[in-house]
Homo-oligomer: A and B are copies of this chain.
């Protein structure tokens, strides 16, 4: 089966992307897995200035999932451009830079900073992080502000532009349409759901910053619903994610309308998950006589 997919002008050798936030900038990943099994990698959410992140505890297991409140710990755009990307480039895997701004202005600045780097294959505008106070999810819960954030980056960045949406809204399709109007070439979804856990011994929230983002298999049905809806509502490709653990999960997303898929939490539990998904897809293609993975995109509603 031909696994390659075309994503907003970018050709990926396979549709399995490392989701932002579980891959860092690749330095830790290389110790436990081979980056080249990924069709593309999305690096940790990057901000204009370095961020130290949120107070611990930052993670907590939940039924078939986890909460995280990392808080965009990252070294800032400058270090990423000067140190992280040149190192990561050696693997020859397309690099998507996930960016997060506190204002439209900051989004534009990030867009133009990364325009200077030839090592960026695509930008992923994160208007959906539930773990930071300023910016973050605020831009993604309202079509107007999503439009403006997207447009701010679009003015400065001329490569493939992906906008990553939050499911914490009542009508994700209208936010997706706004992103496309603002200039998005692709939509990625979903980011985490806002959740909370209580430590019954301490009688307090578990996480240092009270709420966190829920990810993992638990959210897969919500993610699939968003992909099914949004892929029918917008004319651009969708990158689906949320709880993908194996090739069967990946197929569910592709059939629901995703052109490519991303694996987040699964990488934390099983670093070699991209390889097992790619191999699973190849085997499936042989057994079912599917020639191109792209033939399956959206079959559930087409």
Residue ranges of A at the interface with B (Cβ–Cβ < 8 Å): 62-65, 67, 141, 168-170, 193-198, 200, 203-205, 210-212, 214, 216-222, 224-225, 228, 243, 248, 251-252, 255-256, 296, 299-300
Contacts and interface: CB of A to CB of B under 8 A. Distances in A.
Identical chains bound together, number = 2
Given A169-B170, A170-B170, A197 B218 contact: no
Contact of A256 (B65, B169, B198, B255): B198
Contacts of A168: 170
Given A169-B170, A218-B219, A300-B204, A196 B256 contact: yes
A203 B299 contact: yes
Given A65-B218, A219-B218, A220-B62, A225 B243 contact: no
Contact of A225 (B194, B203, B248, B255): B194
Nearest to A225: B196
Nearest 5 pairs between A and B by C-beta? Answer: A195-B221, A63-B217, A64-B64, A218-B218, A63-B64
Contacts of A212: 221
A220 B216 CA distance: 13
Nearest to A217: B63
A200 B67 contact: no
Given A198-B300, A200-B251, A205 B228 contact: yes
Contact of A63 (B169, B243, B256, B299): B243
Given A64-B64, A65-B218, A195-B225, A203 B170 contact: no
A109 to B, nearest CB: 27
Contacts of A228: 196, 205, 210-211
Q: DSSP majority for the A interface?
A: mixed
A198 B218 contact: no
Contacts of A296: 203
A166 B220 CA distance: 19
A224 B252 contact: no
Contact of A221 (B67, B222, B251): B67
Nearest to A197: B221
A212 B248 CA distance: 20
Q: Which of A67, A212, A216, A225 has the most CB of B within 10 A?
A: A225
A198 B252 contact: yes
28 contacts: A62-B221, A63-B216, A63-B217, A63-B218, A63-B243, A64-B217, A65-B221, A141-B170, A168-B170, A169-B169, A194-B222, A195-B221, A195-B222, A195-B225, A196-B221, A196-B228, A196-B256, A197-B221, A197-B224, A198-B251, A200-B252, A200-B255, A203-B255, A203-B296, A203-B299, A203-B300, A211-B225, A218-B219
